[in-house]
Chain A
Amino acid sequence: MPETETDADDARRIPPTATRQRDGDACVIRLAGDWTDYSQCPDWHDLLPADEPDSPRAVILDADGLGEWNSAAVAFALNLALRCRARGIPCRRENLPEGLDKLLALALAVPELRQEAPAPAAGPIRRLGQTTLALLGQTAAAISFVGVIAESLVRLAAGRTRTRWSDVAAQTARCGHQAIAIVSLMGFLIGVILAFIGSIPLEMFGADIYIATLIGIGILRMMAATTVGTVMAGRTGAAFAAELGSMAANEELDAYTAMGLSPVELLVLPRFLALSLTMPLLCVYADLVGILGGTAVGVLYCGVGLQSFFQHLCATTRLSDFFVGVFTAWVFGLLISACGCYHGLTCGRNSAAVGKAATAAVVSSIVCMVLATALITLVTVLVGI
């Protein structure tokens, strides 16, 4: 059986030992036994203590009694030699097996790469300053990217860009009708959820009929746009960042730039235009399915009649609610495509950077969308739309 064989091998093995002997100014370290198991080997720290009062002038490593050996012996000898080198003590090797001697010479041939001393850990104030500067830098870069897009849009309007309309059409298809299925599901469920949640307080007051108002204003003004925005940030914004990011990693963007073709005109504008066109349309669609979901709950669960539901819906909802929602969705489209493309274009040149760019695109789009929603809500409430 293999176990007994191993046991027998272990039994036959002579335990590794290292003895230290002072010979005047020199210190002789003798290795003996089988040096095959590093965990069993003597610790080199004990043989050359740092706090020795009478430090030896030379160290002699003698391996005359060494039996079998493997990396364990090499590691021991290397550490000993490095310690000697650090303390400026010459280290002589005697009676080492040829292979062991060669391996040691190989390991000692190239001096250790001297790493630059790491900067001392920054204090909290310094870190705060560094973080602030980095954030300011990122903000400046993002703003100048918005400027580049705006400049390209102006040139597009003047008909002086190389943007291809076939690219715009292809991107529109990708972020338009291909997103219908997921938008249907999400929009419908959001309508259902909103109606269920709304029915709880409304039933308390016996005001079930106002479920129609809640659905109308809630879906049209806000929830449809937010739902579509979230879906598209995850679905399309991340895809933009990953696509452009892997193009950056593969030198495809360089190939355009070096040819004098602007990646913004060729790659960013089609995506930007496609999303700013499809987002309002998807929002209108999400309005419809969301109201459908809300109506289903209102009629089937709350027991509001279908006709009175719609009468109430039409009476309490204004057209401006619908337009505010569609406008919000359009703004979301601009933000999602700008965030996605920005993180794609500025992506690093490896696969981990592509993943990071996709994540950053989604997170920054959602943050921007929440900020934009707050701003739009504030302005519309103040203006009274």
Chain B
Amino acid sequence: MTPTNRESQPDADDRPQPVQVRGLTMAYGRRIIQHDLTFTIRRGETFVIMGGSGCGKSTLLRHLIGLNTPAAGTVLRDGHDLFRADETTLDAIRRRTGIMYQSGGLWSALTLAENIAVPMQEFTDLGPREIRELASLKLALVGLAGCEDLLPAQLSGGMLKRASLARAMALDPDILFCDEPSAGLDPISARRLDDLIIELRDSLHTTIVVVTHDLPSIFAIATDAIFLDAETHTLRAQGSPRRLLDESHDETLIRFLTRGERSS
């Protein structure tokens, strides 16, 4: 849990960016979801992938973490091609990646502490006592102190998301992917989860990639964003949402960002 001070590292500027997407085309069979996406996620950003329902936000996230294979183009993670790298490189990338799934994705047969322990058991040399204590710490950080021995089925929706965040942070990842973190939460819980993500980012200097269509969330956390359009199947804009709202003349984007109340 000792965040490295990025500014003090001499090679900070030479390191490849955490995520570079080059000409990515995503498809399910013959149905094209998005074509020819090219963008870069810079280190330390809170990057939001936004767009209406069905535009391929979650599919893009699955490509960024290597769960889906692209129809064309590729994804570079820390400069390595995610779909051509060897297992050792991939393992190293996976170890620096945390993922928070839309439905939590917690292993339902394991308690919360065991869920958080799995990545530590598999990827570190820590002993059982240290793992248990670290798991308790992660749970305390997300406001679930004392819930170590609960099963995922015993949690409310908001608690489930926070537990999922705790597991995603288990290995102190450099980059955290969140799929619809506020989906299914009431506005207060969604706000608290946003605050939590921002706090963790500021204290651990994690790059964060969030998929969402929740406008309050987008304006609260995003420092950079891309907008995917479901109708043209393309990337329509990139930039900070506030700047996009002020400067963009793209009608679809403005309608999205203002809930259809304003058009350019």
Given contacts A162-B122, A257-B67, A258-B65, contact A250 B94 (CB under 8 A): no
Q: Is A231 an interface residue (CB 8 A)?
A: no
Residues of B within 8 A of A250 (CB): 103-105, 108
Count class of interface residues, chain A: 10 to 19
Contact with A along B115-126 (1 / 0, CB 8 A): 000110010000
- Contact across chains for A258 and B94 when beta carbons are under 8 A apart: yes
Q: Which of B207-250 contact A (CB under 8 A)?
A: none
A47 interfacial contact with B, CB 8 Å: no
A111 at the interface (CB under 8 A from B): no
Q: Which of A258-293 contact B (CB under 8 A)?
A: 258-261
* A252: contacting residue among B67, B99, B107, B122, CB under 8 A: B107
Quick one: given A247-B108, A260-B94, are A254 and B101 in contact (CB under 8 Å)?
Answer: yes
Known: A250-B103, A251-B102, A251-B103. A258 touches B66 (CB 8 A): yes
Interface code B127-163, partner A: CB below 8 Å = 1, 0 otherwise?
0000000000000000000000000000000000000
Interface range, B side? 20 to 34
- Establish whether residues A258 and B99, one from each chain, have CB atoms under 8 Å apart when the complex forms: yes
Decide: B105 and A259 in contact? CB cutoff 8 A. Answer: no
B contact residues around A247 at 8 Å (CB): 107-108
**Complex CA–CA separation, A250 to B153 (angstroms):** 12
Give A240 to B91 CA distance when docked, in angstroms: 28
User: Roughly how many angstroms separate A106 CA and B105 CA in the complex, as a whole number?
Assistant: 40
Whole-angstrom distance from the CB of A325 to the nearest CB of chain B? 34
A255 proximal to B (CB < 8 A)? yes
Q: List chain B residues, Cβ under 8 A from A261.
A: 118, 122
Question: Does B91 lie within 8 Å of A260, measured CB to CB?
Answer: yes
The interface bits of chain B over 66-110 (1 if a CB of A lies within 8 angstroms of the residue's CB, else 0) are 110000000000000000000000110011010101111111100
Shortest beta-carbon distance, B33 to chain A, in Å?
Answer: 16
Contacts of A251 in B (CB 8 A): 101-105
CB-nearest residue of chain A to B62: A254
Whether the Cβ atoms of B99 and A255 lie closer than 8 Å is yes
Residues of B within 8 A of A259 (CB): 94, 118-119, 122
Instruction: List 14 interface pairs A-B (beta carbons < 8 Å), by A numbering.
Output: A246-B108, A247-B108, A252-B107, A252-B108, A254-B67, A254-B101, A254-B105, A255-B99, A255-B101, A258-B66, A259-B122, A260-B91, A260-B94, A260-B95
Give me the interface of A with B, judged by CB distance under 8 Å.
Answer: 162, 246-247, 250-252, 254-255, 257-261
Q: A259-B119, A260-B95 are in contact. List 17 more A-B contacts (CB 8 A).
A: A246-B108, A247-B108, A250-B103, A250-B105, A251-B102, A251-B103, A252-B105, A252-B106, A254-B62, A254-B67, A255-B101, A255-B106, A258-B66, A259-B94, A259-B118, A259-B122, A260-B90
List the 5 closest A-B pairs by CB distance, nearest first: A251-B105, A260-B94, A255-B105, A251-B101, A258-B65
